[in-house]
Structure 1
């Protein structure tokens, strides 16, 4: 299916890219106190990562089509390490925001080429399994990030950033040495000679609304919106409402993410083959919405843990199913469609945390209710439009 040397490296690299997004979340309360910042800054800090990820993702996908997947992956890992090093050295909130912006560029350079890489070297009948593993590394990185950040913070609030920078550099060295290029030199040369001019990101987003991929991209946005909406204010919520400690939050996120990832690997193929992609997508969105609402019912630690396990499981199953459908629909433009996939993910990362921070100022439970509403609407829309959209793709 995949070169043995490539597959684990791709999984590790995808894990690291998403790890950086969530790493800062559990230490946000302490960072805000250290820099004398307001509560809304928590949402903006997470959103800033998504902003540059959104702006640069389509460019990264196009460049990977023309110049190869490996150069973009290496570039993304370098920027990933620089971002975390700057965050570790930050003495004020401004430099911390700069580090997050650079991290978003690194994620944009890394994620679309990895998705396109797997699409390059897998047949359609093997792609679902490959995307399932890739989705596991993607969602577990994003979800485990807060857990690791919280545990490492016991050795110092900046320790998560130092550790992440070192791991990023190690992954870059391993990829430089052990990751083969998936596109042949002839294909890269041909695509460079075409000199095709791509529309800017905003024009691409506007055109995507009328594309055959739109319903899938909309689901990508909704799923990411719900997840980041949840994570951006989760530490503030459980500290203020339930009285959880930083250590409890770290353990909670780590355990729940591992269970969610395990459930994804065990269940995704089975339920997709039995019920089909369309039903799985609609039901996972609905169940994610329900679990967000149930999180408000009790502050019992083990009750919260159980609800979070379910929420992460539903989100983990969603990602590979959607990625598989997108990659099958992309044809020869794997890098471009992967870039659009990441762009819609970035939009969710921008607006989810930003709105969660604003709503949190009005009422601590309001972000979860609104996030559930977005997921519920997306489930209803997917039931009505996904079948029609996929039929249009086939024709």
Structure 2
């Protein structure tokens, strides 16, 4: 059973970590216009966040296993606030890129520690429900970020960054005062005395290919790749393709994210209990691919809202289901496995937006076609072991 005081704070912190990734997206056209930059810069601004997230996630996961979850959560929130203040102070692209790099470091410290914290304080029976709520806060932050950013931008293009930094500092203060440490002191002391040396991140990625986690980590990458492929160019696509305004984009993404989050909370645990995690993951990947393609058929506002709501719902269900499977397999390596999951998420965040920006400059529909192919291929890969097992049993 999870703590009534700790768990809501975990949800808030996870929301903030992913809010920072998406908050810059709706104001991207105005920022790029102000700094005289083009479409590729939009993808790179999202990708550089994932770069430092990738480099620091395994390190942060290992540190949380040795020194505790709370210190890493607090450090992550401090870096989160610093990154937003740097973005607000930016007068050009260089400092804006620096702010996104710092934000990726903060996310690397925060996200694995929160997931490991939830695993520490829940039983196997309650873990799926806890991961579902964490997944809801994670996905809603990542997706609501653009909506909030667009609405706050009406008070000034830098207003979203100032607001986000203030909230991050408040969350950090609340975590210091309220959040207890979930990792037993005896276990932390034992791990610190052991002085176990971990391989660097690239070595860990190479070793993960042969681990029992690899298939799920690959799905984490594909899911993130598809979602960031969608988000990185979505404002540019609906502006150039359908003539949407900044306000319409903010309203669209905010409403769709709320619908997706509600559906996730209601459906995730029920679907997993009835069909099993593996089948749900494969189905959500397939449906996400279909919804990406459907987005290209019409620019009518209500149609785009319906398709986008479905896409967010499918992705929101994916994330906690994958986290549940990983946490069940992790045993005492919750921090390490959560760090690797965040590293694969970061790889998707690096390559998804960067490639989406390049494809967008060639033809605006290409990012969604290619993203759909990646999600479809991942669904088929996930189904293959199940098919082989079924054949062997017959």
Structures share fold, TM-score greater than 0.5: yes
Q: What SS does the corresponding residue of 2:3 show, helix, strand or coil?
A: coil
Aligned equivalents of 1:150, 1:374: Cα separation in 2: 29
**Other-structure match for 2:325:** 325
Unaligned runs of 5+ in 2: 390-394
In the TM superposition, what is the alpha-carbon distance from 1:386 to its structure 2 partner? 6.2
Query: Within the alignment, does 1:139 sit opposite 2:139 as a pair?
Result: yes
In the TM superposition, what is the alpha-carbon distance from 1:265 to its structure 2 partner? 0.4
Aligned equivalents of 2:294, 2:137: Cα separation in 1: 27
**Other-structure match for 2:12:** 12
**Other-structure match for 2:277:** 277
**Other-structure match for 1:166:** 166
Aligned equivalents of 2:59, 2:26: Cα separation in 1: 31
**Other-structure match for 2:392:** none
5 Å matches for 1:302-321?
302-321=302-321
**Other-structure match for 1:217:** 217
**Other-structure match for 1:234:** 234
**Other-structure match for 1:243:** 243
TM-score by length of structure 1 reads 0.98
**Other-structure match for 1:392:** none
TM-score by length of structure 2 reads 0.98
Q: What SS does the corresponding residue of 2:26 show, helix, strand or coil?
A: helix
**Other-structure match for 1:40:** 40
C-alpha RMSD of matched pairs (Å): 1.0
**Other-structure match for 1:361:** 361
* Superimposed CA distance per residue, residues 319-346 of structure 1 (whole angstroms, 9 cap, x where no aligned partner): 0110000000000000000000000000
Q: What SS does the corresponding residue of 1:135 show, helix, strand or coil?
A: helix
Q: What SS does the corresponding residue of 1:25 show, helix, strand or coil?
A: coil
Cα 1:386–1:105, aligned 2, differ >3 Å: closer, same or farther?
farther
5 Å matches for 1:158-197?
158-197=158-197
Unaligned runs of 5+ in 1: 390-395
Q: What SS does the corresponding residue of 1:75 show, helix, strand or coil?
A: helix
**Other-structure match for 1:112:** 112
Aligned equivalents of 2:282, 2:97: Cα separation in 1: 36
Aligned equivalents of 2:184, 2:274: Cα separation in 1: 37
Count residues in correspondence: 389
Aligned equivalents of 2:15, 2:370: Cα separation in 1: 28
Aligned equivalents of 1:141, 1:288: Cα separation in 2: 19
In the TM superposition, what is the alpha-carbon distance from 1:388 to its structure 2 partner? 7.7
In the TM superposition, what is the alpha-carbon distance from 1:385 to its structure 2 partner? 3.1
Q: What SS does the corresponding residue of 1:234 show, helix, strand or coil?
A: helix
In the TM superposition, what is the alpha-carbon distance from 1:271 to its structure 2 partner? 1.1
CA contact (8 A) 1:282 1:380 kept: yes
CA contact (8 A) 1:216 1:386 kept: no
Q: What SS does the corresponding residue of 1:24 show, helix, strand or coil?
A: coil
In the TM superposition, what is the alpha-carbon distance from 1:185 to its structure 2 partner? 1.4
Query: Within the alignment, does 1:156 sit opposite 2:179 as a pair?
Result: no
5 Å matches for 1:261-276?
261-276=261-276
* Superimposed CA distance per residue, residues 262-287 of structure 1 (whole angstroms, 9 cap, x where no aligned partner): 00000111111111111101000000
Runs of 4+ residues deviating >2 angstroms? 385-389
**Other-structure match for 2:346:** 346
